[in-house]
Amino acid sequence: MKIAVLGTGSVGPALAAAFARLGHDVAIGTRDPQATLARTEPGATGGPPFTQWHAAHQEIAVRTFADAAAASELVVNATNGAASLAALAEAGAENLAGKIVVDVSNAIDFSQGFPPSLNPVNTDSIGEQIQRAYPEARVVKTLNTMANSVMVDPRHVAGGDHTVFVSGNDSGAKAAVTDILTALGHTDVLDLGDITTARGVEMILPLWLRIWGALGTADFNFKVAR
């Protein structure tokens, strides 16, 4: 597939590289490609500078949000949740219409310091906001409950014996995303239902942060035993 990954933090490049390894035609979307390609500072979570990352992944194009989305069959929103709607607006409704939009963002609000709160929460979610803003897109929420290292290599935690969730209104879109998750190595994909169930998976994040603090590592995930 032709996949656009929007976002150049730690999650976007990790997913883009993983999709490219699976044989997909991948582009990363960013607001300013030239500025992104010139970035030499380390990533916020300690990853390599984008310049260094791209030198090792030159097969992955770096384009504007709009150009990346226009040339894609599937769009992944890997931007910061607080900026997701703005990023998708730059991508353009016409470039999202009819396409699967995979939302892996989290609604983290650091305005009051750490630990962060969530906004939206309880009665809404980023996944729902994206679906409302782009009704012709086929939004699927997934992968937001784990670190990017686990997203792209689930087997290195408990041999892959853990759960990834999907939420969305379109069963065909969820089936296509499930195929991609399986190709990444995820073996337990749990369909929670329509896009309103994204509220639950987004609300997992505060617990995830506390577990990270307790374990001192992000190499973990949740398992639904049944």
Does pTM top 0.85 for this prediction? yes
Per-residue pLDDT of the chain (226 residues; tens, 9 = 90+): 999 999 999 999 999 999 999 999 999 999 999 999 999 888 777 678 999 999 999 999 999 999 999 999 999 999 999 999 999 999 999 999 999 999 999 988 888 888 888 999 999 999 999 999 999 999 999 999 999 999 999 999 999 999 999 999 999 999 999 999 999 999 999 999 999 999 999 999 999 999 999 999 999 999 999 9
Q: Is 50 exposed, middle or buried (0-12, 13-18, 19+ CB in 10 A)?
A: buried
Is the four-CA dihedral 129, 96, 14, 189 of positive or negative sign?
Answer: positive
The DSSP output letter for 157 is T
Which pLDDT value is given to residue 112?
81
- pLDDT recorded at residue 79: 96
Nearest-CA neighbor of 163 among 145, 136, 139?
Answer: 145
In this predicted model, what pLDDT tens digit does every residue of 8-59 receive, in sequence order? 999 999 999 999 999 999 999 999 999 999 998 887 776 789 999 999 999 9
How confident is the model at residue 146, as a pLDDT? 98
What confidence score (pLDDT) does residue 114 get? 81
Percent share of the chain, pLDDT over 70 = 99
In the chain, how long is the greatest CA-to-CA distance? Answer: 49
Neighbours of 57 (CB within 10 A): 16
DSSP 31-88: S-HHHHHT--SPPTTSPPPHHHHHHT-TTSEEEEHHHHHHT-SEEEE-S-GGGHHHHH
Q: Is 166 helix (H, G, I), strand (E, B) or coil?
A: strand
The pLDDT score that the predictor gives to residue 203 is 97
Distance CA 218, CA 27 (A): 27
What's the rounded Cα separation, in Å, for the pair 181 and 2?
16
